[in-house]
Chain A
């Protein structure tokens, strides 16, 4: 009843030496023995016959190549299981080994589930990623720029998948005249990683290519695993040619993606990322050529306009007329100057004339005044003249030698004298010389 350490418990009743168990008794003993021997374990296997009961419990088998074990995941534990259980999925289950006594079936009551492979692969992935990151292989500075115009493209992929067909179609559509060299490789399974790495090296060694695309179409994590292997990552890292990694779908990230110079979400996307449509290039070039020509035309036009402007300016249009203009201006200046001078001269003349007139007038006045004065003077003079005296009866007597005689004593008898009267002269002889008897006038 209680637990025993041995599979050979004490028989309950020994008839004739034999120990006969009841089924339930035996079954219970087996169950207890199982539980005691194994307890809780981890077991890895592939899911099959997954059945969700209406009660919410899940029943399934875990199997490998040759055997299987029954398992149950009860509703209460199911909440803690993230993995979606489906046939074919490899899982690791943690649970208790026990027996279902009614059917004498041993089984594992599962408490926890994780995807098999995923754990270890994920771990390997993280480890390699960490290692390569530490070496600086993912650094942006290491990434080679992709050529703007790759005309020779190497593709490392399976020659049979849809991926290569998609890429060739897209490339042919975008840029009809490309040289494409496919390096056919296994992209999954044993030896795939080594093939991929070797192909990358080979394409680099051949030379003549501009860029590489390395990838494959979608698949399970295991399918894509080659692109998570170090040998591939190293080959991409040492590639002298820029590498575009194109593995799986948008959501799949591989080590190759991190090492590559560019990650394309899918192979088709890689074909679109690697080269622009040729038509776009041609359009570009046409635009540049157009701008070039326009630039020159515009500049030429500008210069021409400037030239025209200069030509239209006075100096260039008619130099002679300019000289003429200057002459005219000088002439006008001259004329103005002459006019001015004349004007001034005229004004001066006027003033002189005015002055002359006034002078003449004054002179006349003066002259008239002088004439009167003279007349008055002449009258006075006349009154004083000897004639006027003679007229009044006086006479002038002169000696023979013409001297006016004022003293009678100066004349001796016998001397001849002449006496001037008012009219005519008398000649006489002095009878008696004069004495100072009288007063001479």
Chain B
């Protein structure tokens, strides 16, 4: 459960920071081969996560439209607006 929470909280920033730490650790040459494999696994996962974050969202430009008391969205057409 704690892990799930961590996953939810994982952000691009955190992933990059962890990745940086991992690479620094690896490059320090202090790790055992076993530990090395372990952090490499983790680092690969982080790269994948970050890459996923870059591509997760689809291109879309919308605008807010008042609808009764609330709002809804519609495609944004700036040229037509003027």
Using a CB–CB distance below 8 Å, which chain A residues touch chain B? 147-149, 151-152, 159-160, 164-165, 168, 172, 176-184, 199, 202-203, 206, 278, 281-282, 284-285, 288-289, 291-293, 295-296, 298-300, 302-303
Inter-chain contact A168/B78, CB cutoff 8 Å:
yes
Chain A residue at minimum C-beta to C-beta distance from B56: A151
- Residues of chain A within 8 A (CB-CB) of B56 are 151
- Residues of chain A within 8 A (CB-CB) of B61 are 168, 179-180, 182
Picked from B12, B27, B33, B62, the residue with its CB within 8 Å of the CB of A182 is: B62
- Residues of chain B within 8 A (CB-CB) of A202 are 64, 71
Chain B residue at minimum C-beta to C-beta distance from A199: B64
Chain A residue at minimum C-beta to C-beta distance from B37: A296
Inter-chain contact B47/A182, CB cutoff 8 Å:
no
- Residues of chain A within 8 A (CB-CB) of B62 are 179-182
Inter-chain contact B26/A299, CB cutoff 8 Å:
yes
Chain B residue at minimum C-beta to C-beta distance from A176: B59
Given A159-B78, A184-B64, A296-B26, residue A177 in contact with residue B58 (CB < 8 A)? yes
Chain A residue at minimum C-beta to C-beta distance from B70: A202
Hey, what's the 0/1 contact readout for B39-82 against A, CB within 8 Å counting as 1?
Answer: 01001100100110111111111111000000101001010011
Inter-chain contact A303/B33, CB cutoff 8 Å:
yes
Chain A residue at minimum C-beta to C-beta distance from B60: A179
Q: Main SS of chain A's interface residues?
A: helix
Least Cβ distance of A262 to chain B in Å? 16
CA gap between A177 and B57 in the complex, in Å:
6
CA gap between A172 and B13 in the complex, in Å:
22
Picked from A182, A281, A288, A296, the residue with its CB within 8 Å of the CB of B36 is: A296
Please give the number of chain B residues whose Cβ is less than 8 angstroms from any Cβ of chain A in the complex. 39
Chain B residue at minimum C-beta to C-beta distance from A160: B82
Please count the residue pairs between chain A and chain B whose beta carbons lie under 8 angstroms apart in the complex. Answer: 115
Inter-chain contact A182/B23, CB cutoff 8 Å:
no
CA gap between A176 and B31 in the complex, in Å:
40
Inter-chain contact B47/A302, CB cutoff 8 Å:
no
CA gap between A366 and B46 in the complex, in Å:
111
Using a CB–CB distance below 8 Å, which chain B residues touch chain A? 11-13, 16, 19-20, 22-23, 26-27, 29, 31, 33, 36-37, 40, 43-44, 47, 50-51, 53-64, 71, 73, 76, 78, 81-82
Least Cβ distance of B28 to chain A in Å? 9
Least Cβ distance of A397 to chain B in Å? 129
Inter-chain contact B36/A299, CB cutoff 8 Å:
yes
Inter-chain contact B13/A151, CB cutoff 8 Å:
no
CA gap between A281 and B43 in the complex, in Å:
16
12 A/B residue pairs, CB under 8 Å, sorted by A: A147-B13, A148-B13, A168-B78, A179-B60, A183-B64, A282-B51, A288-B23, A288-B47, A289-B47, A292-B44, A295-B40, A299-B31
- Residues of chain A within 8 A (CB-CB) of B57 are 151-152, 177-179
Least Cβ distance of B41 to chain A in Å? 10
Chain A residue at minimum C-beta to C-beta distance from B14: A148
Given A159-B63, A168-B78, A177-B57, residue A295 in contact with residue B23 (CB < 8 A)? yes
Chain A residue at minimum C-beta to C-beta distance from B22: A292
Picked from B11, B33, B50, B76, the residue with its CB within 8 Å of the CB of A159 is: B76
Inter-chain contact A295/B26, CB cutoff 8 Å:
yes
Supply 17 further A-B pairs (C-beta < 8 A) apart from A179-B58, A295-B36: A147-B13, A148-B13, A149-B54, A151-B57, A159-B78, A176-B59, A177-B58, A179-B57, A183-B63, A203-B64, A284-B16, A288-B47, A289-B44, A292-B22, A292-B26, A296-B36, A303-B33
Chain B residue at minimum C-beta to C-beta distance from A168: B61
CA gap between A168 and B53 in the complex, in Å:
21
- Residues of chain A within 8 A (CB-CB) of B63 are 159, 181-184
CA gap between A434 and B58 in the complex, in Å:
180
Given A177-B57, A292-B19, A299-B33, residue A164 in contact with residue B44 (CB < 8 A)? no
Inter-chain contact A160/B78, CB cutoff 8 Å:
yes
